[in-house]
Amino acid sequence: MKLSSLLLAGLLLAVPALAGGGRQAPLPPALATQIIADLYPSGLPGRISQPVRKWEHRVLDLKGDGTPGYIIEVADPDDCGSGGCGMLIYVAKGAGFTSLYTGGNFYTATRCLKTRSNGYFDLFQRYRANSGKVYFHTLRFDGRQYRE
């Protein structure tokens, strides 16, 4: 779906990081361990001696209720290809974390929209394919996972 820049600017919502002063909260060690397990569910492939450890994360309030949500964007060159890099989304739940999305990140920061699906903000991605064509994706929460 193509949106005009003006419409898009009106839909984007600046959802602040939960950490004070705009600084990013550190990734909880238990979440880092879960990310490795989710990226390599069958264990590390034979050619990889160490799991990916290069990623960027943002802490966002995905529901608007103060519960931390984590958007993990894998940035390791060994795990990225022509379709982009991996992206995972988690939300804190009790003492652990629940996975809400595992898929691709298309060379752009994922942003929250003002619209919601099943209580969670819809997410927006803009990316440029190798052909140079620009695409837009909206991820909507279906009650269990974010889906395209």
Average pLDDT of the segment spanning 84-101: 88
Q: Which of 52, 144, 55 is nearest to 105 (CA)?
A: 55
Give the residue, 86 or 105, on which the prediction is more confident.
86
Give the residue, 45 or 33, on which the prediction is more confident.
33
Long-range (24+ apart) CB contacts under 8 A made by 145-148 are 145/99, 145/100, 145/101, 146/89, 146/100, 146/101, 146/120, 148/103
Q: What is the pLDDT of residue 110?
A: 78
Q: What is the pLDDT of residue 8?
A: 32
CA 75/CA 70 separation, integer angstroms: 15
Q: 3-state SS of the chain: helix, strand, coil percent to 5?
A: 15, 40, 45
Report the chain's mean pLDDT, rounded to a whole number. Answer: 74
pLDDT exceeds cutoff 60 at 135: yes
Q: What is the pLDDT of residue 45?
A: 63
Instruction: Tokens 């619209």: give the residue.
Output: 115
Query: Predicted confidence band at 119 (pLDDT cuts at 50, 70, 90)?
Result: very high
pLDDT exceeds cutoff 50 at 2: no
pLDDT exceeds cutoff 70 at 49: no
CA 15/CA 115 separation, integer angstroms: 12
Average pLDDT of the segment spanning 25-53: 75
